[in-house]
A = this chain, B = another copy of it.
Amino acid sequence: MDERVAVIGVGHTEFGELWDRSWVELVEEAGLKALEDARIRKKQIQKFFLGNMSLGMFGGQEHTASKVFSEIFNSGPESEILGRRIEGACSSGGLALEASYNDVLAGIQEGEDRIIMVGGFEKMTDKPTEKATKILSAASDMGKEIGFTFPSLYGMLKDRYLEETDAKEQDFDYIAVKSHKNASLNPKAQYPFEVSQEQVEDSFKVASPTKLLNSSGIADGAASVIITTESKAKELGSDYVILEGVEGANDSIALFEREEILSLVSTQKAAKRVYEATGIQPEDVDVAEVHDCFSIAEALALEDLGFSPKKEAWKWIRKSLSDCEEKEAPIPYTLPKNESLFVNTSGGLKAKGHPVGATGVAQVVEVVKQLRGEADERQVPDAEVGLTHNVGGSGGTAVVSLFKKPKIT
């Protein structure tokens, strides 16, 4: 395939407890920002894909895309756009990107340069936290019926990791310190402030050994990206970034069905496919937004994405971050093959926030800003290759995408 897919615009709302905003206002804000960024008009969009986990249970609304069409895109008989919602729990945004990427390729096959909007959103804080946690557990299997929530499922992964390696609890806490430090430079973040190693260590245990400050919160927010062919991006004069590839994979929804719970096989498969499809290797990556719903998840992501051997990420985390309280953000990892890899410069799910359906799209926004050199105070020097990694549930789905500055070929 000679033609490539390009991201031509990105938009992102504030993440947090946005009680005075409706979900559709958030989708609209992110979408309009992406249109403005791409310097195109609504009418130029052919299709939109909305990543959302559960507006049904959170807000009593289905038929989401039709509502978005009504509120945002409807300009009467000449409106020629088709929307739909994609659901894959917390990986809904990543799956929407994957579907959109393929739709742009389908357009090439049909001789069209399709322009597609990928939106992701979730409005979670209108429910009390306990109710929101219960709704989120709908992303898991029957464990939810005996009281397993995601803090406890990821707690089991952490327990096992502590059992099978020489890692210490503190190693995971460094990750939270780093993420909050990065988020302190991100004005859109839900928790834009630093926390100390001691604060993380002393935070209460939500589901032992998962502590509060090892966990992402409940949030509202939306993100949007616009993609098309590289030819169209050039024709539009966009400051674009190449979406080199996006691949997804599934694993069993329940942990008890897995042979080995410390490998997120879905992440491994998706990463393998996208590395093979693009020719990019882990050591080529400069910036990555990975799915750190809990601190243990970031450690496992470093391993499953190929940045560290299995069961050794804790060593590299300790080496890179044990003195991170003293360092200036953004703070990189030193890894076996990556001298410096910046992970979750946005603050990650932990500190930027995790409105679940928005996450996979918001990750793309951060990586694109980094590759365009527009990440302000948290800009990584000379970032040329970026990766996003979005997980559903405890690894039942994973989507991995690779991005490149267009000059690099």
Interface status of A85 (Cβ within 8 A of chain B): yes
Interface status of A317 (Cβ within 8 A of chain B): no
The verdict on A99 contacting B84 (CB below 8 Å), with A62-B139, A105-B110, A397-B65 known, is yes
13 cross-chain CB contacts under 8 A: A1-B111, A54-B56, A62-B138, A63-B253, A69-B396, A74-B252, A74-B257, A82-B248, A84-B86, A84-B88, A84-B248, A102-B102, A105-B110
- Whole-angstrom CA separation of A63 from B142 in the bound complex: 12
Question: This chain: how many copies in the complex?
Answer: 2
Interface size on A, as a range, is 35 or more
Interface status of A60 (Cβ within 8 A of chain B): yes
* Chain B hits for A84, CB < 8 A: 86-88, 95, 98-99, 248, 397
The verdict on A87 contacting B85 (CB below 8 Å), with A70-B141, A138-B61, A396-B66 known, is yes
* Chain B hits for A57, CB < 8 A: 56-57, 60, 62
Query: What is the distance, in angstroms, from A143's C-beta to the closest C-beta of chain B?
Result: 12
Interface status of A64 (Cβ within 8 A of chain B): yes
* Chain B hits for A253, CB < 8 A: 63, 66-67, 69-70
| Additional pairs, 20, CB under 8 Å, beyond known A53-B62, A56-B56, A85-B88 | A54-B56, A56-B57, A60-B144, A61-B138, A65-B250, A66-B251, A66-B252, A66-B253, A66-B393, A66-B396, A67-B141, A69-B253, A70-B253, A81-B249, A81-B250, A82-B249, A86-B86, A86-B87, A99-B99, A105-B105
Interface status of A368 (Cβ within 8 A of chain B): no
Interface status of A323 (Cβ within 8 A of chain B): no
Closest-by-CB residue of B relative to A250 is B69
Closest-by-CB residue of B relative to A88 is B84
Query: What is the distance, in angstroms, from A277's C-beta to the closest C-beta of chain B?
Result: 9
* Chain B hits for A393, CB < 8 A: 63, 66
Interface status of A80 (Cβ within 8 A of chain B): yes
Interface status of A25 (Cβ within 8 A of chain B): no
Task: Choose among B66, B98, B99, B249 the residue that contacts A89 (Cβ–Cβ < 8 A).
Answer: B66
Query: What is the distance, in angstroms, from A46's C-beta to the closest C-beta of chain B?
Result: 11
* Chain B hits for A69, CB < 8 A: 250-253, 396
- Whether the Cβ atoms of B111 and A109 lie closer than 8 Å is no
Interface status of A269 (Cβ within 8 A of chain B): yes
Query: What is the distance, in angstroms, from A51's C-beta to the closest C-beta of chain B?
Result: 10
* Chain B hits for A248, CB < 8 A: 82, 84
Among A79-108, those with CB < 8 Å from B are: 79-89, 95, 98-99, 101-103, 105-106, 108
- Whole-angstrom CA separation of A110 from B65 in the bound complex: 29
* Chain B hits for A249, CB < 8 A: 80-82
A-B CB proximity, top 5 nearest: A66-B396, A63-B89, A105-B106, A102-B106, A69-B250
Interface status of A332 (Cβ within 8 A of chain B): no
The verdict on A87 contacting B70 (CB below 8 Å), with A79-B250, A106-B106 known, is no
Query: What is the distance, in angstroms, from A222's C-beta to the closest C-beta of chain B?
Result: 17
Closest-by-CB residue of B relative to A356 is B62
Query: What is the distance, in angstroms, from A106's C-beta to the closest C-beta of chain B?
Result: 4
Task: Choose among B77, B82, B87 the residue that contacts A62 (Cβ–Cβ < 8 A).
Answer: B87
Interface status of A254 (Cβ within 8 A of chain B): yes
